[in-house]
Amino acid sequence: VGILMGFTNWCYSLEDCFKSLHEIALYVEEDRKFRGKLEREKEEEKEALVLEKGHIPEIVFRDVTFRYEGAKEPVIKHLSLTMKPGENLALVGLNGAGKTTFIKLLCGFYDPTEGEILVDGVNRSRYTKESWIRCFSGVFQETGLFPLTLRENLMPEGKEDSRRVKECLELADLKEKLEKLPEGLDTLFGAGVLEGAADFSGGEVQKLMLARALYKQAPFLVLDEPTAALDPLAESELYEKYYRLSKEKTTVFISHRLASTRFCDRILLLENGKVTESGTHRELMEKQGSYAAMYRLQSKYYQQAEAGLEGDMEL
């Protein structure tokens, strides 16, 4: 019986290995396709988008529908939306509503199946993807840091501005941590992968990513639930920090914890690929619709789960 059980477990672990190999192969395929697209653009001789320093373009989604290749149903359905320069937007909704897909469309990783995305009134497809993606700094669900030095992680393009990087680390609350590291910015990141690499807690990694996003002076900042590992209070604090530090950018915040995004200028509730409610937190609460119901439900859950949070989650 022991041998049989051992063999069965071994078979299960083999199955897991194949599953993760398959998953990795899908990622590689996606990456290859995307790189292929960038290469083709070079041949199509598209224009590179050049923005004047400090200029934030207005983005308009005009009746945008998006369907993944091979899928029957579109994920985004006839979405129309204007993002004013400097606006702080929050995108909320249940899992599978299409929030991440919206971000991928916004950042230019995908193009609309129908409809158009306008940048200062010009169809985005006129510009190269590479120049468009450069307009974004983002922290995504799967974002991480590389097993390189902090310097290389924070300034991946190599154009070093030590004064500014220190400023960004200070803003991200990492000054003290950095002072304790004997090698400073040359400290290796990637404990467990690189010998001699420093240890960083989950919260510190989040702060490093904040510093990196701040260092890149892009007109758009996107946060797509990078804080799943943090508790609700820490997430709420981190989101507010991003908000305070990115006043001169257009920002899009995504979180399934509604309390984290309630300070945004406009909150969009996405349901089944459509914006069903839009307004400030107060307006949506007064409306007594789906947002208000979800917010109340979550507040109740967190109050029960974490006794100390009660005050923070209240309206």
Q: Which residues bind ligand ADP (CB under 6 A)?
A: 68, 71, 75, 93, 95-101
CB-wise, 75 or 245, nearer to ligand ADP?
Answer: 75
CB-wise, 99 or 207, nearer to ligand ADP?
Answer: 99
For Cα atoms 72, 254, 102, give the angle at the middle one, nearest 5 degrees.
30
Q: Min. distance of Cβ 295 from ligand ADP in angstroms?
A: 17
Q: Min. distance of Cβ 226 from ligand ADP in angstroms?
A: 13
**Cβ neighbours of residue 223 closer than 8 Å, sequence gap 6 or more:** 138, 139, 239, 242, 251, 252, 253, 254, 255
For Cα atoms 195, 196, 197, give the angle at the middle one, nearest 5 degrees.
95
Whose tokens are 């709420």? That residue is 236
CB-wise, 68 or 301, nearer to ligand ADP?
Answer: 68
Amino acid at 301: Y
Q: How far apart are CA 149 and CA 146, in angstroms?
A: 8
Alpha-carbon dihedral 282, 287, 290, 293, rounded to 10 degrees: 70
CB-wise, 97 or 267, nearer to ligand ADP?
Answer: 97
Q: Min. distance of Cβ 277 from ligand ADP in angstroms?
A: 15
Amino acid at 33: K
CB-wise, 19 or 126, nearer to ligand ADP?
Answer: 19
CB-wise, 191 or 293, nearer to ligand ADP?
Answer: 293
Query: What's the burial of 40, exposed, middle or buried (CB within 10 Å: 0-12/13-18/19+)?
Result: exposed
CB-wise, 99 or 151, nearer to ligand ADP?
Answer: 99
Q: Min. distance of Cβ 19 from ligand ADP in angstroms?
A: 17
Q: Min. distance of Cβ 9 from ligand ADP in angstroms?
A: 30
Q: Min. distance of Cβ 68 from ligand ADP in angstroms?
A: 3
Q: Min. distance of Cβ 76 from ligand ADP in angstroms?
A: 8
Q: How far apart are CA 259 and CA 27, in angstroms?
A: 32
Alpha-carbon dihedral 139, 140, 143, 149, rounded to 10 degrees: -10
The bridge status of strand 59-66 relative to strand 250-254 is unpaired
Q: Name the β-bridge partners of 137.
A: 221
